[in-house]
Structure 1
Amino acid sequence: MSSLFGTDGVRGLANGLITAELSMKLAQAAAVVLGNTGPRTGLRPAAVIARDPRISGDYIAAAMAAGLASAGVDVFDSVIIPTPAAAYLAADLGADFGVMISASHNPAHDNGIKFLAFGGLKLTDDLENAIEEELTRPSPRPIGAGIGRIHRFADAEDRYVAHLLSSLQHRLDGLTVVLDCAHGAASACSPRVFEDAGARVIVIGADPDGLNINDGYGSTHMGTLQAAVIAHKADLGIAHDGDADRCMAVDNLGHVVDGDQIMAILATALDAAGKLRDRTIVATVMSNLGLKIALGQAGITVMETAVGDRYVLESMREGGYTLGGEQSGHVILADFATTGDGILTGLHLAAEVARSGRTLAELAAVMVRLPQVLINVKGVDKTIASTHPIIQDMVQQATNDLEGKGRVLLRPSGTEPVMRIMVEATEMEVAQRIASTIADAVLLHASADESAVMAAGVQP
């Protein structure tokens, strides 16, 4: 696994990790690894570049464009559009690859660089490693006509909006929708799409100033949207994150509808229409057990993957499945997108409300979420915590005690010395008791810091 690339590109503090110098070098390395992968025979390689509105995006985009052009790549600059728009436009244009500059739901001081392979697909680990290895080699220096040009992709948003609207089979006339754009990349196009689809739209969190992205708004701050839905007596609310690849919702009663519930609603609708391939969806091991129970009762299979939308996407491509996603709101509708698309997901969720004539609260009732407790135990040796016989015995005993009406998941974090303990049960008190007991055992038997054990009051 690459050391520079994380689970979703290169991400970190702008002008800390993500400097202009690194941005240019990454662009030049990507030009070598990802250039000439498309069908543009006899033409220079081409790349679509886009960003969210955070302030550091200006210098990073400029450095990336300069690096790509200096390496002989024609650049189509889409300016501020969502990540799924960059993926769609890279595929629609037939570009060799795409670049999205965003730190997603992170605060404004962070930024990130995400590459998209030919067709708008996420990079494999091998491609990420190849780009990082290329950083150690001299950059290509074409001259004269071999140098790339930088074009303003003037109709980028129009093409993406038209694509989204073309995916709908039912308009949103009569619906009132509150959109929370997180002061992010969806601020311009999401309201436009929902209005063009026929909805009455109330917009919040759509005044980006470069510094307020994800600040009190968006899919990680749902309270603002909940209040707005109630205040406006709306049919539903849709929340995006900074780069708009997520969709979380709020029903007409002001309750949060998460990614699992959205998948349950869309899965049953697609299945009823005969459009759910193999009557199967793909979700991660962190999805609520209620999703599996609800869809199992409807005859729909839930295939599980490791945590991360890239693993969901890989499984979906391998099996040719229609629908997949994560509890966090990364929902993939594979007939229309190569990645999670928060605007697309919100549109189709709203369309099902309009088509069915039922409220979102009624639709969401197809799935009953089991009480879920997640405890992060910090400062532990993840290898010991994952293999210690006493801890494993406790997990197995708790699983047996739940008798199929809950589950226990012990998972190491992929980025920090943390063990995540997730427990689901029919009663919150039971889930909390089991999770706390296992967390104490992890801290006792796998702590990398004896003082942490003492501070927690865990007795040997």
Structure 2
Amino acid sequence: MMTKYFGTDGIRGRFGSPLMCPSFAFRLGCALGDYLQQLRPGERHSVVMGRDTRFSGEALCAALTAGLNQAQVEVYFAGVVPTPAVAKAVLDYQADLGIAVTASHNPSCDNGIKLFDHRACKFEEAQELGIEALVDQQADAPAEWPQPSFTKINSESDYVSHLQSLLAKDSLRDWDVVLDLANGATVHTTPAVFQRWGARLHLLGDQPDGVNINDGVGSECPAQLARAVLERGARIGVAHDGDGDRLVVCDETGTIVDGDVLLAIFGRYYMAAGALKAKALVATIHSNLGLDCALRDAGGRVERVGVGDRNVACRMRELGANVGGESSGHIIFSDYATTGDGLLAAIKIIELMCQTGKPLSELRQEVTLFPQCTLNLRVADKIPLHDLTGLQAAIQEVEAALGEEGRVLVRYSGTEPKLRLLVEGPTLFEVEQALKSLEIAARQELSVIDS
């Protein structure tokens, strides 16, 4: 059964729309209060809440809090903090629930709501369906609701102290580091951590004003990060998204390091140190086949799951694995955190640079990715893929031609009316030809909207 409010990572939409406005947030808060009462009837419950720098975050947090207050839920408000700091605070305060009000890498006109359970793990789909049912049972939000009641907490300090402890004081005193903070939730936390290590910092996207989050800065716009690294002679550049749960990294030559290359580096060196639990790294169906080859050559394996860091984290728990992530830069180190954390991932790559004495450019060249081409086709209708016999035949033909040296991924987007095509193979020419054959087959059976 499909969820109707929740997507792959919480609820997200344009602020002011029916699903992302104070009235809906109030009803959601009421529903979450009811949900907690169902879990442990008659007991007192607590929730940790934080947000990013979007102008709409304050109103949504106030409405959520007021709704939670209807069920006598105690709200610990952390203010503007990265999403992984919210997850950590759930454990620190032994809360029943964590709420991060953020739309991650989306523009400031959007906002969203991410939920964590008492383990600081993202909700599974069955839990989301239950919450949606409770939302639908709520009455319309009143024109006015009582002033929200909450307790302010300093989870930012706890989060910073925890990450500062992972490297020795002044261990980066000879380093120049460029940080792009996306005018988002990491604007205070990431610089504070690096300052303890003595690095000379060069900051981008560090002047949030409520509307400039992700506006030409951050993980979605890494070009200026690369330029700044070259201009400053930095050893590394790190860019966050709006809520700090993922990263993009640039090496000292100004080259953006692919997310799958980062995963492969972590997997290989963890395997060499005997530290990769279950000898498995968990990645999604989008990760490059080169990741599988890199782990196989190191004696490990890649376990693939559906799109979304929630799916990665869930499979990691099932396997007992401790490293996993998405090529987009959501990387999870479960020995240290329950969810993706861009700053933690940056720390772990810097730690490897220090341990090996190798610059990041040398580490990235130890991994070879397969040529990959993708195409997104906007379609009028999402006809079930198994009914597209011509496309299925084309997929089988491509897969037979590529054999074990390539792969094909064809799926509909979960959030947009698009068919997504992906092909990997041994040469770029073969990949381009294969993708073209899939596109032709898709166009023959689907109504494609060219814009």
- Per the TM superposition, whether the score is higher than 0.5 is yes
Letter in 2 for 1:162: S
Alignment-derived partner of residue 33 in structure 2: 31
For the residues of structure 2 that align with 1:242 and 1:386, how far apart are their CA atoms?
38
2:332 is the alignment partner of 1:332:
yes
Tell me, yes or no, if the aligned pair for 1:245 and 1:341 is still in contact at 8 Å: yes
Relative to structure 1, is the Cα distance of residues 434 and 344 closer, same or farther in structure 2, using a 3 angstrom cutoff?
same
State the TM-score, normalizing by the size of structure 2.
0.93
SS at match of 1:113: strand
Aligned residue runs from structure 1 range 12-411, under 5 A: 12-17=13-18, 18-34=20-36, 44-138=44-138, 149-153=149-153, 155-168=154-167, 171-379=171-379, 381-411=381-411
Which deviates more, 427-436 or 99-108?
427-436
Q: Residue 412 of structure 1: CA displacement?
A: 1.6
Q: Residue 107 of structure 1: CA displacement?
A: 0.5
Letter in 2 for 1:67: G
Q: Residue 202 of structure 1: CA displacement?
A: 1.5
Output one character per residue of 1:220-262: Cα deviation in whole Å (capped at 9) or x when no partner: 1110101111111111111110011111101111111122111
State the TM-score, normalizing by the size of structure 1.
0.91
For the residues of structure 1 that align with 2:228 and 2:37, how far apart are their CA atoms?
46
For the residues of structure 2 that align with 1:205 and 1:413, how far apart are their CA atoms?
30
Letter in 2 for 1:345: A
Output one character per residue of 1:134-154: Cα deviation in whole Å (capped at 9) or x when no partner: 123357xxxxxxx9941111x
Alignment-derived partner of residue 11 in structure 1: 12
Output one character per residue of 1:333-382: Cα deviation in whole Å (capped at 9) or x when no partner: 01111111111111111121122110101111121122211101111543
The Cα RMSD (Å) is 2.1
For the residues of structure 1 that align with 2:94 and 2:135, how far apart are their CA atoms?
26
Relative to structure 1, is the Cα distance of residues 437 and 173 closer, same or farther in structure 2, using a 3 angstrom cutoff?
same
Structure 2: segments with no counterpart, 5+ residues: 140-146
2:438 is the alignment partner of 1:438:
yes
SS at match of 2:420: strand
Alignment-derived partner of residue 143 in structure 2: none
Q: Residue 215 of structure 1: CA displacement?
A: 0.8
Q: Residue 404 of structure 1: CA displacement?
A: 2.3
Which deviates more, 194-203 or 12-21?
194-203
For the residues of structure 1 that align with 2:315 and 2:58, how far apart are their CA atoms?
35
Relative to structure 1, is the Cα distance of residues 56 and 273 closer, same or farther in structure 2, using a 3 angstrom cutoff?
same
Structure 1: segments with no counterpart, 5+ residues: 140-146
Letter in 2 for 1:208: P
Q: Residue 435 of structure 1: CA displacement?
A: 0.9
For the residues of structure 2 that align with 1:35 and 1:181, how far apart are their CA atoms?
38
Tell me, yes or no, if the aligned pair for 1:172 and 1:351 is still in contact at 8 Å: no
Q: Residue 384 of structure 1: CA displacement?
A: 4.0
For the residues of structure 1 that align with 2:392 and 2:136, how far apart are their CA atoms?
43
Tell me, yes or no, if the aligned pair for 1:194 and 1:347 is still in contact at 8 Å: no
SS at match of 2:137: coil
Alignment coverage as a number of residue pairs: 441
Which deviates more, 405-414 or 178-187?
405-414
Tell me, yes or no, if the aligned pair for 1:167 and 1:336 is still in contact at 8 Å: no
SS at match of 1:122: coil
Relative to structure 1, is the Cα distance of residues 360 and 37 closer, same or farther in structure 2, using a 3 angstrom cutoff?
farther
Output one character per residue of 1:134-183: Cα deviation in whole Å (capped at 9) or x when no partner: 123357xxxxxxx9941111x21110111222344794343322111111
Q: Residue 120 of structure 1: CA displacement?
A: 0.9
For the residues of structure 2 that align with 1:438 and 1:169, how far apart are their CA atoms?
52
